[in-house]
Amino acid sequence: MACAWCDSKNLRKFTGEVAILLPGPNAIEPTVFVWPEFVVCLSCGLAQFSVPKAELQILAKGTPTSGLWQD
């Protein structure tokens, strides 16, 4: 696998936490949290991850689903 940006093969996997804020006047709430596995290019810094299906549906609809939103 090569970096999509610089074509380097110097990639490494990491795990992390991402808080995705929906646009709007109260951008801090609601927040969708995901804990993806990242692939980071150690040459140029490009980081890529996939959003799990349940959280992706929330982002697409922009409406809360029980158990996935933080109060």
Measured CA to CA, the distance from residue 38 to residue 51 in angstroms comes to: 11
21, part of any domain: yes
The answer to whether residue 6 is domain-embedded is no
pLDDT at res. 26: 61
> pTM of this prediction?
0.71
Query: What is the tally of structural domains in the chain?
Result: 1
Domain of 50, in residue numbers: 11-61
CB atoms within 10 A of CB 48: 14
Q: Which of 49, 54, 50, 51 is nearest to 64 (CA)?
A: 54
The 10s digit of each residue's pLDDT in 3-58 is 999 999 999 999 999 988 887 766 556 788 999 999 999 999 999 999 999 999 98
Asked, for residue 69, whether it belongs to a domain, the answer is: no
The answer to the question of residue 47 being in a domain is yes
